[in-house]
């Protein structure tokens, strides 16, 4: 049994890509996209016609609506190749506007429904895990629109997402690792901070154990992996979203893979339940320099790629 098949025994495998032609070989259950992945895809010759088609067909609409139609087109193509759900992201520039995020999410869902997609079972709306984004997710979940809270770097974000009843969270393992490695500089000891001691892995494990201990139904999906060791150390997490490159490495390896996270074992842990109102959430996030910096950086990066995508569309028009 290769490591990819071994991982599937305990964890739902998700493909982290906009390149839907890569999906068949890995047979993931779900798939996730974001503005950066879609931008990367439409710059390839085989996907550029989707961008051209969206502009030609909907050129009279506002640019943001054309982009949503392009995202949904990618999403529907992906859903034709996988049995599960696709995550489609709301524009990161709305990360601090609850009402605008809700409106944009509802428009994306309406476009999927117009394409005869069962959105309750097959679509997750990705939203940055700011306070405003979490509140938007709370409102959307109450309407039966399921959400994936992304750019999640701190325990406080995870606690607030669980309390809001969001469907799924995506803690960013690799970006947490990146920050700590850079902060440590020459003092960083790669061997000592690998596997279960990796700071990104430790963050996801803390969240996973907290959710399982307190019966929080929100799914935990580790994301943003830098190496195979991070994935192996999180075998047993609800879901892991993995790049095609790392999926290929897993499929090529027959090294043993152990069950690392255990929901039943978490029940025996002594973990107090936390309640965070908005001031407490903002203070806890502010106290976490890594999470504060990586959240802001991630929003800026996704926003910049949304602008680049708009520029490509304007060039086509």
CATH number, residue 174 = 3.20.20.70
Q: Select from 15, 75, 18 the least CA-distant residue to 41.
A: 18
Q: Is 226 exposed, middle or buried (0-12, 13-18, 19+ CB in 10 A)?
A: middle
Q: Angle formed by the axes of helices 98-114 and 63-79, to 10°?
A: 50
Amino acid 21: pLDDT: 87
Range of the domain at 304: 3-316
The region of weakest confidence among 33-42, 74-83, 157-166, 215-224 is: 33-42
Amino acid 295: pLDDT: 98
pLDDT 10s digits, 179-222: 999 999 999 999 999 999 999 999 999 999 999 999 999 999 99
| Contact indicator for 199, 177 with CB cutoff of 8 Å | yes
Catalytic hit among 27, 40, 121, 126: 126
Whether residue 27 lies in the annotated active site = no
Contacts for 60 with CB less than 8 Å, ≥ 6 apart: none
pLDDT 10s digits, 211-255: 999 999 999 999 999 999 999 999 999 999 999 999 999 999 999
Q: Is 147 exposed, middle or buried (0-12, 13-18, 19+ CB in 10 A)?
A: buried
Structure token digits, residue 186: 């020459």
Mean pLDDT of 273-301: 98
Amino acid 23: pLDDT: 87
- Radius of gyration, CA atoms only, the chain: 19
Amino acid 184: pLDDT: 98
The number of folded domains in the chain is 1
């Amino acid at each position: 049994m290769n490591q990819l098949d071994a991982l599937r025994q305990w964890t739902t495998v998700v493909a982290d890509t906009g390149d839907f032609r890569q999906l068949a070989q890995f047979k993931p259950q779900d798939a996730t996209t974001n503005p950066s992945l879609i931008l990367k895809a439409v710059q390839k010759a085989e996907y550029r016609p989707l961008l051209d088609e969206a502009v030609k067909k909907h050129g009279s609409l506002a640019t943001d609506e054309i982009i949503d139609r392009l995202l949904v087109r990618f999403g529907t193509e992906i859903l034709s190749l996988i049995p599960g759900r696709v995550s489609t992201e709301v524009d990161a520039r709305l990360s601090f506007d609850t009402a605008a995020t809700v409106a944009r999410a509802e428009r994306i869902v309406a476009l999927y429904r117009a394409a005869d997609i069962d959105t309750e079972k097959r679509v997750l709306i990705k939203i940055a895990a700011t306070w405003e984004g979490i509140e938007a997710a709370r409102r959307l979940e109450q309407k039966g629109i399921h959400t994936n809270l992304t750019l999640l770097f701190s325990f406080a974000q995870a606690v607030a997402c669980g309390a809001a009843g969001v469907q799924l969270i995506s803690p960013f393992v690799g970006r947490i690792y990146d920050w700590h490695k850079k902060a440590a500089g020459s003092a960083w000891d790669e061997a000592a901070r690998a596997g279960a001691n990796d700071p990104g892995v430790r963050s996801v494990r803390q969240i996973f154990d907290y959710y399982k201990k307190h019966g929080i139904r929100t799914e935990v999906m580790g994301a943003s992996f830098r190496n195979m060791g991070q994935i192996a150390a999180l075998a047993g997490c609800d879901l892991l979203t993995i790049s095609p490159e790392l999926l290929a490495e897993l499929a090529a390896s027959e090294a043993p893979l152990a069950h690392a996270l255990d929901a039943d074992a978490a029940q025996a842990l002594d973990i107090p339940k936390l309640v965070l109102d908005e001031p407490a959430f903002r203070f806890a996030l502010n106290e976490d320099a890594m999470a504060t910096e990586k959240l802001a950086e991630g929003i800026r990066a996704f926003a910049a790629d949304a602008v680049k995508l708009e520029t490509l569309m304007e060039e086509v028009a």
